[in-house]
Amino acid sequence: MAAPLQLGPVVLVENRWYITTMSKFTIEFGPKSSDALDRLATQLERPKTEVVRRALDTYNELVRAARDEGKRVIIEDPKTGDKQLLIV
């Protein structure tokens, strides 16, 4: 991964721009969510904060597409072709 490019109050990380004046939150996770976060951070080889930010960005986009554009999110099993609608 390339080093972030800092330009004033914004930074470029992996082709995405972020405002560097960030809000800070304290979040308490239960065991199941905590384990999921640990697992994802390990699998993606990313810090937990980045995993949470990416998850929020993804969820925000799914909700926006469903609400504003009437789109649906469907996952498909490539082996069986079975499809499942994800509720957002």
pTM score above 0.75? no
pLDDT of the residue at 3: 66
Q: What are phi and psi of 77, to 5 degrees?
A: -80, 115
- What are the tens digits of pLDDT across the range 24-63? 788 999 999 999 999 999 999 999 999 999 999 999 999 8
Contacts of 87 (CB under 8 A, 6+ apart): none
